[in-house]
A and B are shown apart, each in its own frame.
Chain A
C-alpha cells in the first residue's frame, strides 16, 4: 500500500542553521508529493510540491526534490529562522487517485532558537 515515513522529531536548531527533514515514501506508479506546514494553532498550508520524478519544489527558501530512485522527498532550507518553527508534514497523493486524497507522514516538529 501507500505510505509516508518522516524522520522522528522534534528537531531543534539555532537560527541560520541548515535544515534537513527526511521523507521517504512507498507507492505504486507516480504519486504527487507535498510538504505541508502547520504553524501553532493553525491549519495546514501547502509549502511546496512536486508532481513528477526529478522535479524540485521550492517556496520561502525551502526546497525538496522528487527522487524516484530513492523514493524520497527530503525538505531542506539553507538558513532557518525563528519564524520557521512549526510542524512539517510530508504527504503523497496516489497517481491512481485523481481526487486529492492525501496520505501523510507522522509530522516533524521544528523548533528554531534565536
Chain B
C-alpha cells in the first residue's frame, strides 16, 4: 500500500544546531507540504513543492528550508534550531491539479529544541 512516512518520530536537539526531518511518500504525488502544529494555531504551512526542483515558501517559512531532488522525498531543514521551533511537524502529499483533492499526512515528528 502507498504511504507517507516521517522520520524520526521524536527528536530532541539543542539550540543552534542544524536539524533535518525526513519525509518519504510512495503515492507518486507531485505535491508535497510541510506543516507545523501548535496549540491554538492548528496547522500552519511552512514550505511546499509542486514537483522536482520546485520549492515555495509558506506562511511560516523563516528559519526553515526544503529541497526536492526526486518525487518521493521532501526533507525539511532547520538551519539553526530555536526554542520557538519546538513543535509537531507534519508532512503531507496530494495529487496535483485540483483543489478538491485530499491531502495524505504522515504520522508527524515531535521536535523539542532545548
Contact = CB atoms under 8 A, between A and B. Distances in A.
Contacts, number: 72
Contact of A49 (B31, B94, B100): B100
Contact of A102 (B41, B43, B50, B106): B43
B113 interface: no
Interface string A56-85: 000000000000000000000000000000
Interface string B81-100: 00000000010101111111
A41 to B, nearest CB: 8
A32 B99 contact: yes
Contacts of A104: 35, 42-44
Pick the 7 closest A-B CB pairs, nearest first: A100-B94, A104-B42, A43-B105, A51-B100, A32-B100, A93-B99, A44-B105
Interface of B: 31, 33, 35, 40-45, 48, 50, 58, 90, 92, 94-103, 105-108
23 contacts: A31-B99, A36-B105, A43-B90, A43-B105, A43-B106, A44-B90, A46-B103, A49-B100, A98-B99, A99-B31, A99-B94, A100-B33, A100-B95, A100-B98, A100-B99, A100-B101, A100-B103, A101-B58, A102-B33, A102-B35, A102-B103, A104-B43, A106-B41
